[in-house]
A and B are shown apart, each in its own frame.
Chain A
Amino acid sequence: DQQVKQNSPSLSVQEGRISILNCDYTNSMFDYFLWYKKYPAEGPTFLISISSIKDKNEDGRFTVFLNKSAKHLSLHIVPSQPGDSAVYFCAAQYNFNKFYFGSGTKLNVKP
């Protein structure tokens, strides 16, 4: 039972434009959400997180939005840069228990 889903396996965006990566979850008990970025042959690296008590968290070019009623999470990257090309995973957790990861979205930012 996949509790966290990323329905878009890939996304292609022009440099300078906005990248929007989406994530849906099924468990309403999740109270913490994270995005990880992964380059080939490397482990995932933490990007940004959001608590369920918030609906937005911003860090430089990266903003995460949380819509609890829709059980939907999104990551916005503005402006997108070629170095952002990677696989992005969303993850969810409740009560400091294990993280559930989505299957990832491969972002390609074209110069």
Chain B
Amino acid sequence: EAGVVQSPRYKIIEKKQPVAFWCNPISGHNTLYWYRQNLGQGPELLIRYENEEAVDDSQLPKDRFSAERLKGVDSTLKIQPAELGDSAVYLCASSLDRTTDTQYFGPGTRLTVL
């Protein structure tokens, strides 16, 4: 069974540029999460989707971050414009539903903003 797929794996951009990350969750998983992990810290939730509906986006900086999950499958996370402090690993995870304890994580996208 294929795991959570993320692309790109690495991205280097200059500040003020836009960037987008893509996530393909495990087939059949209704719940999708985007996390940000700063160096030396644990993952922090940015947004959670139940199917195509964003049910928890309280930690998403909405002035520059946006996300979508069309058709309740793939998801994209966008930053526009990127700032130096956005440098981090962006992790996507999925689970069968929100009551399932096991979240399966993708390998992450390491973003470096110069």
A43 touches B108 (CB 8 A): yes
B interface vs A, CB < 8 Å?
Answer: 4, 40-45, 48, 56, 91, 93, 98-99, 101-108
Chain A residues bordering chain B, tally (CB within 8 A): 24
Q: Give the chain B neighbours of A103 by CB distance below 8 A.
A: 40-42
B43 touches A89 (CB 8 A): yes
Prevailing SS type, chain A contact patch: loop
- How many residue pairs, one in A and one in B, have C-beta atoms under 8 Å apart? 49
Contact with B along A54-79 (1 / 0, CB 8 A): 00000000000000000000000000
Partner of A43, one of B42, B93, B102: B93
A interface vs B, CB < 8 Å?
Answer: 4, 6, 9, 32, 34, 36, 41-46, 49, 89, 91, 93, 96-99, 101-104
**Apart from A9-B40, A99-B45, 11 more pairs, CB < 8 Å:** A32-B101, A36-B105, A43-B104, A43-B105, A44-B105, A46-B102, A49-B101, A49-B102, A102-B42, A103-B40, A104-B42
